[in-house]
Structure 1
Amino acid sequence: MSEHVIPGRAGDLISLGAAEVLWAGLTAGSAVPTAAGVFACPPAGTRAGYVLLGGRLVAVVKTGGGRWGVAEGEVRRAAAELNTVEIDRGLVRIGPFREAPQQEHNEGTLLRWRQRVMREVQEPDGPGQTAWGEDGRSCHLAGIDWRQVLVERTRDGAVRTWWLPRAVVRLLDAAEHAETQWLHATSARQASKADTGRLSDHRQTRAADTLRQTASPEGPAAPLRPYSGELEGQLYSVLSRKPGFSRKVAQWMCAVCRTAPATVLDHCHEHGYARAPVCQSCNTQERPDHLYSSDIRVASRYTRLFHTGTDDWLRHWHRCSGCRARTTLPLPHLAAWTASIACRPLRPTHRASRGREPCGVLRVSWTGNQNAPRSCLLTVTVDFCPSGEHRLLAQVPYREAAGQFRTWLAETAPAVAAVAGPDRLDGLPAQPRPVIADTNGEGLALF
């Protein structure tokens, strides 16, 4: 192939065709199978402005001659990283899950590898039917041919589940993270050029439209009333069965932000008690960012939950009689608090253009559940460390995490802590529903 290297200041640039040949040759002996056409197929190419290779994002740039190319050194580094990955016998279930919540780190990305894999494997003829884009070119996931390592399992002769090697899952997670960081940086640059006054007017218009949509088609909507604890202590399973209950919820103002109409009744999944009517935004804000049934990523929204809006959220969570009596949080929220607050001094930092930045992204997982506190262990790790040197931060037993939370609650929100305590156990369910329904990942439906 007559592809030539084009010298440039930032490093040697090669055409996309030459990069394709180079990538295929460098990764021929990799334990992770790679796909063909990675520099020209969705979600890569000149329109995206980048190509995902394993866990690395490589920018696509335009040369002086009007041709598109990539830095040869970046392609070689991506191939070298991929060649170091070893695939062991560990498998991770990737679906299907019942009513799996939308994950924050997927929003806005083109990769969305979990959604793409599940959409393809659930085709009538199985994997491979949607392996081609609209223009007839093969689709891939970060240059990885995941179809070669996909494992299908059947339970009870009918229920099918799909699994990928843990190493491949981590690579695809890293690719999504790199893409998200790129898109956020691009959006920030575009936003800085926008007219701030025009943006403010646009937000006000959207807010007005939202309020108008809540009005009854027969005429002006009745004024919303603030929530005063009318539903506290009642079981959600009972309330949700009452006729017209959703219309009753819509009559309240959100009990957390107190600015928007309520749309849902938030409740504790561990104890089954109703908390309060909340708007869709607040309901999404407090939902744990699950990767798997017992594994969550401590996303940026937790800054609001445990820092800027702490008092409001603690008061809201302790509207559950069970959490209030035990002076704790539901297990996923307690796990996020442990990683975000209790383990904050342990999180390393790296030198950046504006001083130092926290290392990577926090992830916390747990074994067991709150109904067996002696065997429940929280493990806090760091994903996507820039230097690759940090991984495990801490392992915290559930009882220790709950004790640290009680101390912090008394210091941070004394009014909330004052009404909590182990002396208010009357009326609690004798057998509260566990957070994790099974060990196969379907406990996502609980959130």
Structure 2
Amino acid sequence: MSEGVTLDRTGGLITLGAADTLWADLMADSAVPTASAALTSFPAHARMGYVLLGDRVVATVKTGSSQWSVLEIEVRQAAAELNAVEMDRQDLVRIGPFRSAAKQEPMEGTALRWRQRITRALQERGGLERAAREDARPYHLAGIDWRRILVEQTRDRTVRTWWLPRAAVRVLDAAEHTETQWLHAARACQASAVVTEPSSHHQQVPALGSRPTTSPDCPTAPLRPYNGELQGHLYSVLSRKPGTSRRVAGWACAVCRTTPATVLDHCHEHGYVRAPVCQSCNTQERPDHLYSNDIRVADHYRRLFDTHAADWLRHWHRCPGCRARTTLPLPHLAAWTAHIACRSLRPTHRDARSSRARKPCGVLRVSWTGSHSAPRSCLLTVAVDFCPSGEHRVLAQVPYREAAEQFRSWLAETAPAVAAAAGPDRLDDLPTRPRPVIADTSSDGLALF
């Protein structure tokens, strides 16, 4: 332990300066880069009554010496939780900028709202490299030094986009949710407080080892698991009902089951609600549209159709339309066809790192022609971009009906429980033809609705 980080007589409290030193020591070898002044540099503010470290709220108290302090055990527990996070820096989530960002309300006080803070910092300083050169202040959100893991990509030399590893996005989303719950509970306590004795000038210290996720005296209900409460509801109807957003925020994500839900995921082809999900899972589920009928088959499809296939197939079949027809929405079926059905057709070349190994060539892309209002008429074209033997090399052209039949056979082998729950006799009141596909080409889908 660094010098100066010691327990005192006030029951485990240490000053913010000592807590900063302890935090830096504990997080030195973490996969998640953290700031050394996480408890004292902006946007952390002890006078607010708490600081965020990862997704944990650490309460601050003012001692008799007029110094702001925190419980050492809380700092240690926050560090242990963040050290346990595994981060794949290749598994990225786009966090901005989005066209809808200009419509968002201005930030208030020290509330996290981390997407807005990152966007504003980068826009004001003209990008990541310039921000790194011109500003030496600690760059952290909930103790995480986001600048060290932010990836900046440029398309057509004009369009700049920003990306963070999915693990960091999940931690920051959870931190934002935790802070919101804390503040709501604190306001509720203030509104309903009845003075029974003279109040102390010092904030109450939470019990050692406890984990406050809201105001220490006014805990709120924990996240509840999603159990199909919205099954069969049309998104166009449910999204207009008052209080829906507040209801969604009370569920845990139906996919990862660990992060607060913030988005109501729905099938764009049939219009049915699937389930409440977190921002990270919603971004992973969204097809990577290049154009309205053109998809880049990115690395995350390995998780969707390989390692976590059963979970994602069950999630997609929460839509009654997809389940009854034993298929997927057109963009997802196209991605599946390119990634799975045409896997053996993709050329390979020698891996420079190994003389014996070979790796898939280029980047997979799938497009389709035909009417969006009648997917069965579509023809899927699977190609490889940036292939040394010929850019935009066409691997196969697969009619929609053939792709759907191949998917049904694969589903029965890969996820038999999901396949057993599907079929044309499951729902008789579905329309005979799917509604038009609504392609999400704007990447603005981070808003709740």
TM-score band by shorter chain is 0.5 to 0.7
Q: Distance in 1 between matches of 2:442 and 2:334?
A: 16
Relative to structure 1, the CA distance from residue 371 to residue 203 in structure 2 (aligned partners, 3 Å threshold; closer, same or farther) is closer
- How many pairs does the alignment contain? 267
Relative to structure 1, the CA distance from residue 208 to residue 417 in structure 2 (aligned partners, 3 Å threshold; closer, same or farther) is closer
Equivalent residue, structure 1, for 2:181 = 215
Equivalent residue, structure 1, for 2:393 = 391
Aligned amino acid, residue 402 of structure 1 = A
Q: Distance in 2 between matches of 1:225 and 1:422?
A: 32
Equivalent residue, structure 1, for 2:300 = 301
Shift of 1:426: 1.7
Q: Distance in 2 between matches of 1:417 and 1:317?
A: 12
Structure 1, residues 251-280: CA drift from partner, whole Å, max 9, x if none? 101000000000011011111111000001
Aligned amino acid, residue 332 of structure 1 = P
Q: Distance in 2 between matches of 1:336 and 1:289?
A: 9
Shift of 1:357: 1.2
Q: Does 1:290 align with 2:289?
A: yes
Relative to structure 1, the CA distance from residue 173 to residue 264 in structure 2 (aligned partners, 3 Å threshold; closer, same or farther) is closer
Contact kept, 8 Å, 1:294 with 1:365, in 2: the verdict is yes
Q: Distance in 1 between matches of 2:171 and 2:332?
A: 34
Q: Distance in 2 between matches of 1:425 and 1:204?
A: 36
Structure 1, residues 335-358: CA drift from partner, whole Å, max 9, x if none? 000000000000000112232111
Relative to structure 1, the CA distance from residue 228 to residue 378 in structure 2 (aligned partners, 3 Å threshold; closer, same or farther) is same
Equivalent residue, structure 1, for 2:118 = none
Q: Distance in 2 between matches of 1:208 and 1:375?
A: 43
Equivalent residue, structure 1, for 2:105 = none
Equivalent residue, structure 2, for 1:244 = 243
Q: Distance in 2 between matches of 1:445 and 1:270?
A: 18
Q: How does 1:185-200 map to 2 (within 5 A)?
A: none
Relative to structure 1, the CA distance from residue 445 to residue 262 in structure 2 (aligned partners, 3 Å threshold; closer, same or farther) is closer
- For structure 2, which runs of at least 5 residues remain unmatched after alignment? 1-90, 100-124, 127-153, 186-213, 215-219
Contact kept, 8 Å, 1:331 with 1:369, in 2: the verdict is no
Contact kept, 8 Å, 2:362 with 2:384, in 1: the verdict is yes
Equivalent residue, structure 1, for 2:360 = 358
Contact kept, 8 Å, 1:373 with 1:399, in 2: the verdict is no
- Which deviates the most, 204-213 or 244-253? 204-213
Contact kept, 8 Å, 1:263 with 1:280, in 2: the verdict is yes
Relative to structure 1, the CA distance from residue 326 to residue 371 in structure 2 (aligned partners, 3 Å threshold; closer, same or farther) is farther
Contact kept, 8 Å, 1:370 with 1:398, in 2: the verdict is no
Q: Does 1:416 align with 2:418?
A: yes
Relative to structure 1, the CA distance from residue 373 to residue 430 in structure 2 (aligned partners, 3 Å threshold; closer, same or farther) is closer
Aligned amino acid, residue 330 of structure 1 = P
Contact kept, 8 Å, 1:369 with 1:435, in 2: the verdict is no
CA RMSD of the aligned region, Å?
3.9
Shift of 1:433: 2.0
Equivalent residue, structure 1, for 2:402 = 400
Relative to structure 1, the CA distance from residue 370 to residue 292 in structure 2 (aligned partners, 3 Å threshold; closer, same or farther) is closer
Contact kept, 8 Å, 1:292 with 1:444, in 2: the verdict is no
Structure 1, residues 389-429: CA drift from partner, whole Å, max 9, x if none? 66010000000000000000000000000010011232213
Contact kept, 8 Å, 2:253 with 2:261, in 1: the verdict is yes
Contact kept, 8 Å, 2:369 with 2:380, in 1: the verdict is yes
Structure 1, residues 121-177: CA drift from partner, whole Å, max 9, x if none? xxxxxxxxxxxxx99xxxxxxxxxxxxxxxxxxxxxxxxxxxxxxxxxxxx97989x
Q: Distance in 2 between matches of 1:260 and 1:417?
A: 28
- For structure 1, which runs of at least 5 residues remain unmatched after alignment? 1-103, 116-133, 136-171, 192-199
Shift of 1:385: 1.2
Q: Distance in 1 between matches of 2:328 and 2:309?
A: 13
Contact kept, 8 Å, 1:174 with 1:384, in 2: the verdict is no
Q: How does 1:144-159 map to 2 (within 5 A)?
A: none
Shift of 1:106: 10
Contact kept, 8 Å, 2:374 with 2:436, in 1: the verdict is no
Structure 1, residues 266-322: CA drift from partner, whole Å, max 9, x if none? 011111111000001000000000000000100111111111110110000000000
- Which deviates the most, 350-359 or 395-404? 350-359
Relative to structure 1, the CA distance from residue 399 to residue 371 in structure 2 (aligned partners, 3 Å threshold; closer, same or farther) is farther
Relative to structure 1, the CA distance from residue 175 to residue 394 in structure 2 (aligned partners, 3 Å threshold; closer, same or farther) is farther
Relative to structure 1, the CA distance from residue 261 to residue 445 in structure 2 (aligned partners, 3 Å threshold; closer, same or farther) is closer
Aligned amino acid, residue 407 of structure 2 = F
Contact kept, 8 Å, 1:252 with 1:261, in 2: the verdict is yes
Structure 1, residues 196-254: CA drift from partner, whole Å, max 9, x if none? xxxx9x99975763452342413224201000001011111111111111000001010
Q: Does 1:349 align with 2:348?
A: yes
Aligned amino acid, residue 399 of structure 1 = R
Q: How does 1:1-400 map to 2 (within 5 A)?
A: 206=172, 209-219=175-185, 220=214, 221-353=220-352, 354=354, 355-369=357-371, 371-373=373-375, 375-388=377-390, 391-400=393-402
Contact kept, 8 Å, 2:385 with 2:393, in 1: the verdict is yes
Q: Distance in 1 between matches of 2:395 and 2:274?
A: 33
Shift of 1:371: 4.6
Shift of 1:432: 3.4
Aligned amino acid, residue 263 of structure 1 = T
Secondary structure of the equivalent of 1:252? coil
Shift of 1:430: 5.1
Contact kept, 8 Å, 2:289 with 2:441, in 1: the verdict is no
Q: Distance in 2 between matches of 1:250 and 1:446?
A: 17
Secondary structure of the equivalent of 1:426? coil
Aligned amino acid, residue 328 of structure 2 = L
Relative to structure 1, the CA distance from residue 395 to residue 204 in structure 2 (aligned partners, 3 Å threshold; closer, same or farther) is closer
Q: Distance in 2 between matches of 1:321 and 1:106?
A: 28
Secondary structure of the equivalent of 1:218? helix
Aligned amino acid, residue 356 of structure 1 = R
Contact kept, 8 Å, 2:290 with 2:441, in 1: the verdict is no
Secondary structure of the equivalent of 1:217? helix
Shift of 1:388: 3.1
Q: Distance in 2 between matches of 1:206 and 1:302?
A: 23
Aligned amino acid, residue 362 of structure 2 = G
Secondary structure of the equivalent of 1:421? coil
Contact kept, 8 Å, 1:374 with 1:399, in 2: the verdict is yes
Secondary structure of the equivalent of 1:357? strand
